[in-house]
Amino acid sequence: MTVPGADMATLTEDETTGTTPLPRRHPGPADAAVAVVPARTAPARAGTARIDPADARALSKTLFARLESLEEGTPEHSYVRNTLVELNLTLVHYAAARAGARKQSYEDVVQVGTIGLIKAINRFELQRGVEFPSFALPTVIGEIKRYFRDTTWALHVPRRLRDLRVELTEAERHLEQTHGRNPTVSELARHLHLEDEEVIEGLIAANGYSAASLDTAEDADGLDESLAHHIGYADRELAKTEDLQALKPLIAALPEHERRVLALRYTADLTQSAIAEELGVSQTQVSRLLKRAVVRLRRQLGDGLGV
Q: pLDDT tens digit string along 258-269?
A: 999 999 998 899
Among 139, 146, 110, 105, smallest CA distance to 122 is for 139
Among 209, 205, 91, smallest CA distance to 150 is for 209
Model pLDDT, residue 76: 92
Q: Rounded mean pLDDT of the chain?
A: 78
CATH 1.20.140.160 segments of the chain: 237-304
Query: Angle at Cα 107 formed by Cα 104 and Cα 113, nearest 5°?
Result: 130
Q: For residue 277, count other CB atoms closer than 10 A to its CB.
A: 13
Give per-residue burial for 266-276: e unless 16+ CB within 10 Å, then b.
Answer: eeeebebeebb
**Rounded CA gap, 10 and 45, in Å?**
8
CATH 1.10.10.10 segments of the chain: 159-212
Q: Tens digit of pLDDT for each residue in 43-58?
A: 333 344 567 777 888 8
CATH 1.20.120.1810 segments of the chain: 26-151
CATH number given to 159-212? 1.10.10.10
Distances in Å between the Cα of 102 and the Cα atoms of 98, 107, 124, 152, 258 are 11, 9, 30, 11, 73
Q: Report DSSP state, residue 227.
A: G
**CATH superfamily of this structure's domain 237-304:** PhyR, sigma-like (SL) domain (1.20.140.160)
- For the question of whether the overall pTM of this predicted structure is more than 0.85, the answer is no
How many alpha carbons fall within 13 Å on the CB side of residue 247? Answer: 13
pLDDT at 36 over 50: no
Q: Tens digit of pLDDT for each residue in 149-169?
A: 777 777 778 888 888 988 998
Second-level CATH architecture of 26-151: Up-down Bundle (1.20)
Q: Which range is least confidently modeled, 30-39, 99-108, 177-186, 192-201?
A: 30-39
